[in-house]
Amino acid sequence: MNHGHARATAHANIALAKYWGKADPERNLPAVPSLSMTLDGLRTTTDVYFDTMLATDELVLDGVSVSGRPLERATAMLDRVRASADCATRARVESANDFPTASGLASSASGFAALAVAASRALGLHLEPGRLSALARASSASAARSIFGGFVALGAGASEAEAVAPPEHWDLRMVVAVTEPGPKAIGSTRGMDRTAATSPYYPVWLSAAPPIFEEVRRAVLAREIEPLGEAVEHSALLMHASMMAARPSILYFAPSTLSVIARVRQLREDGLPAYFTMDAGPHVKVLTLPRCVEQVENALAAQPGVHQTIRCGPGPEARAAPGTES
């Protein structure tokens, strides 16, 4: 028997000031402050059906039934929601992305944000955005930021993210260049643990990240693309430098990643505002302004090794779809 259903949507976010490393691995609290932009072009839609006939939770991702680690992580989130609602009923989760999951683009942020909203609504809980953000953060710290739209911060050691500015604040563009996938990447949690344990640059990262976060925050609030872009690239490269110096080294760069970065620098020499960032994968995300987005996207799409480009602007907060609760 079906006991509760809700549908929610959430959008992916890309950090302009990066999070890497945990202050408290047990509670999944970040060691450094981060600031992201929620992206309108990358959306996850998740349905949760609590059903007393189910013996275990079930997870269907983009139409395919999954088990193992992804199911365990979904169950851990559902357990937290069940504990809040004092409920033991198992659930079937159906989640779909409107962007290619197989491309290796991080879908965990939008996925856990959508799951936190859908699962809590399905059990009749009406949680504040801050509570939803804390729920999402326990699964994936970057997911805490996808609860909010526009520009979003997650402080060092913070349990929940907070909105810095709404999507209308600044009409920025982020073009995602999906490059060739390299060898299977190490997951972010393992990567962070190894960086913290073995990289001589990790303490440097920890002390440099907070002032970079402040620069990013200031430039976002002042809507100044040049200092923002400069700080965004510095944050990404400093984070990657700390990982590269781990033992064994963590290297997310593919050959095509470097050629896209070189192209971005060339675009800048030609006078275009274009700045890159990258996360725990080989893809490159390029920050620019609406008037240049066409030119930037065409230039990236023409690069060898770029499989696809996805154009994004500031996206909305995670929300339950009206009328789906039952």
CB of 305 to ligand PMV, least distance (A): 21
Part of the chain binding ligand PMV (CB under 6 A), chosen from 4-12, 16-24, 197-205, 264-272: 16-24
Residues 77-106 that bind ligand PMV (CB under 6 A): 106
**Residue 151: beta bridge partners?**
37, 165
Residues 135-174 that bind ligand PMV (CB under 6 A): 140-142
Binder to ligand PMV among 279, 283, 284, 297 (CB under 6 A)? Answer: 279
Per-residue three-class SS string for 1-13: CEEEEEEEEEEEE
DSSP string computed for 90-139: -EEEEEEESS-GGGT---HHHHHHHHHHHHHHHTT----HHHHHHHHHHH
Distance between CA atoms of residues 208 and 206, nearest Å: 6
Distance between CA atoms of residues 315 and 167, nearest Å: 6
**Closer Cβ to ligand PMV, 229 or 281, answer by number:** 281
CB of 20 to ligand PMV, least distance (A): 6
Residue type (1 letter), 258: L
Q: How many CB atoms lie within 10 A of CB 63?
A: 8
Kindly write out the interface string for residues 30-69 of this chain, putting x where it contacts ligand PMV by CB under 6 A and - elsewhere.
----x-----------------------------------
Compute the radius of gyration of the chain from its Cα atoms: 19
Binder to ligand PMV among 89, 103, 179, 188 (CB under 6 A)? Answer: 188
**Closer Cβ to ligand PMV, 18 or 217, answer by number:** 18
Instruction: Give contact residues for ligand PMV (rule: CB under 6 A).
Output: 15, 18-20, 34, 106, 108, 140-142, 188-189, 279-280
